[in-house]
């Protein structure tokens, strides 16, 4: 096993980064039990550099793993039931889950993951599923190719890119739709997304209107527990341990965790507990000195600029043009270069900048 540069990482196939290997763990059902929360934190400190990140797909990334520490790390994670049997199964099991579903959602996700594992479908690494079966939809803006949603009193299966879906009989239907995607030429050279196939005019049967998108979730109390934001998506080890002791954790793709059953959370390092916290508007990769590719420190600068970011807008500070911290467009992106910061408006870290080579002292004025 060796780390692969630029690969979409998993746990069994890590990716090389500036601070060592990145190991991405996909907890089953997007949930962590108390023992798993304690165990993964211990493993991150023992076998990596202790940095734990919550990704835009609700997975956990452990950083600073080495060629020597990878095998013992995987053994520890396997003992916690956090590892798939092989790389193919791990690659296929991309499922994001609403934190607001109940036991029926948990059972549905379990069955979907079991069916996916058994399917042997050679799906592209970025191909994924969204189980959005809570009282209102919350995942419509998050990346997924096949969506299970609530429509009226039943559930529908919807191909991403379509405005309607078909009645869901069982989770196996979602796997069948993934097979249909492959049969219809959706993946070429191991890459491809459902929305692109639909845009080519190739669409599955669909006769039930999809629900409309609901408002974004924000930190605070919910009927299912307390939703907590994670600053920059990086959760300090002791914070994860303490959260795990308070309840089962549901991981979301919004850099937030739901602590099931909790009615209150005490302040902890790295947690965002209120909807008006300006840090919710920030995105930033680890930057310098964590990543060898970074041209500048990112998170301290983002914190300094937070108060200047209007409500509802997103500021992304990236250590280089790769844009790992937010691989999407942001209202404002600052990309560090050897000559200073480039400012990109309404684009990604690698897009053409409106201004180049800015000194940090100039940034408050241009933002
Ligand atoms: S975007 Fe940030 S984390 Fe990614 S390679 Fe560049 S500096 Fe490193």
Which of 3, 9, 16, 18 for a ligand 1 pocket mutation test, highest count of atoms within 8 Å of Cβ? 18
**Where are the domains positioned within the chain?**
15-84+217-272, 101-209, 278-366
Cβ–ligand 1 contact at 285 (below 6 Å): yes
Inform me whether the pLDDT recorded for 16 exceeds 70. Answer: yes
Half-sphere exposure of 354 (CA within 13 A, CB side): 13
Cβ–ligand 1 contact at 291 (below 6 Å): yes
252 vs 138: CA distance, rounded Å: 10
Query: What average pLDDT does range 122-131 have in this prediction?
Result: 96
148 pLDDT tier (thresholds 50, 70, 90): very high
Which of 283, 289, 294, 351 for a ligand 1 pocket mutation test, highest count of atoms within 8 Å of Cβ? 294
Whole-number Å distance, alpha carbon 336 to ligand 1 midpoint, is 10
pLDDT, tens digit, 9 for 90 and up, residues 214-248:
778 999 999 999 999 999 999 999 999 999 999 99
Class of 278-366 per CATH? alpha beta
Percent of the chain with pLDDT over 90: 88
289 pLDDT tier (thresholds 50, 70, 90): confident
Closest CA to 277 of 239, 303, 251, 254: 303
Which of 49, 302, 319 for a ligand 1 pocket mutation test, highest count of atoms within 8 Å of Cβ? 319
CATH number for the region 15-84+217-272 comes to: 3.90.480.10
- Average the pLDDT over each of 22-26, 78-82, 287-291, 314-318 and give the range with the smallest value: 287-291
63 vs 321: CA distance, rounded Å: 20
Whole-number Å distance, alpha carbon 46 to ligand 1 midpoint, is 24
DSSP calls for 6-34: T----SSS-EEETTEEEEEE--GGGEE-H
Cβ–ligand 1 contact at 286 (below 6 Å): yes
From residue 236, alpha-carbon distances to 60, 218, 325 in Å are 12, 20, 17
């Amino acid at each position: 096993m060796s780390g692969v540069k630029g690969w979409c990482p998993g746990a069994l196939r890590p990716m090389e980064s500036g601070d060592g290997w990145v190991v991405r763990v996909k907890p089953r059902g997007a949930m962590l039990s108390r023992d798993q929360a304690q165990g993964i934190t211990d493993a991150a400190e023992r076998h990596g550099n202790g940095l734990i990140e919550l990704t835009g797909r609700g997975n956990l990334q452990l950083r600073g793993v080495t060629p020597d520490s990878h095998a013992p790390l995987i053994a520890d994670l396997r003992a916690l039931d956090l590892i798939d049997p092989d790389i193919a199964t791990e690659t296929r099991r991309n499922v994001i889950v609403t934190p607001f579903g109940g036991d029926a959602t948990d059972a549905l996700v379990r069955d979907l993951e079991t069916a996916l594992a058994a399917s042997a479908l050679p799906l592209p690494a970025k191909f994924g599923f969204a189980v959005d079966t809570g009282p209102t939809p919350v995942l419509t803006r998050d990346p997924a190719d096949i969506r299970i949603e609530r429509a009226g009193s039943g559930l529908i299966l919807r191909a991403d890119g379509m405005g309607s879906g078909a009645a869901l009989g069982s989770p196996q239907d979602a796997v069948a739709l993934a097979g249909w995607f492959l049969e219809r030429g959706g993946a070429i050279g191991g890459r491809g997304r459902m929305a692109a196939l639909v845009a080519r005019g190739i669409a599955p049967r669909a006769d039930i209107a999809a629900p409309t998108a609901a408002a974004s979730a924000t930190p605070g109390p919910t009927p299912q527990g307390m939703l907590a934001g994670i600053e920059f998506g990086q959760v300090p080890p002791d914070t994860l341990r303490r959260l795990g002791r308070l309840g089962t954790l549901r991981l979301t793709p919004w850099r937030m965790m739901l602590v099931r059953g909790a009615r209150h959370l005490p302040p902890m390092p790295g947690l965002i507990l209120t909807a008006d916290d300006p840090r919710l508007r920030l995105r930033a990769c680890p930057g310098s000195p964590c990543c060898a590719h970074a041209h500048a420190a990112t998170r301290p600068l983002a914190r300094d600029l937070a108060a200047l970011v209007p409500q509802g807008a997103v500021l992304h500070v990236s250590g280089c043009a790769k844009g790992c911290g937010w691989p999407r467009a942001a209202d404002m992106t600052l990309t560090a270069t050897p000559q200073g910061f480039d400012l990109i408006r309404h684009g990604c870290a690698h897009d053409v900048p409106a201004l180049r080579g800015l000194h940090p002292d100039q940034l408050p004025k241009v933002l």
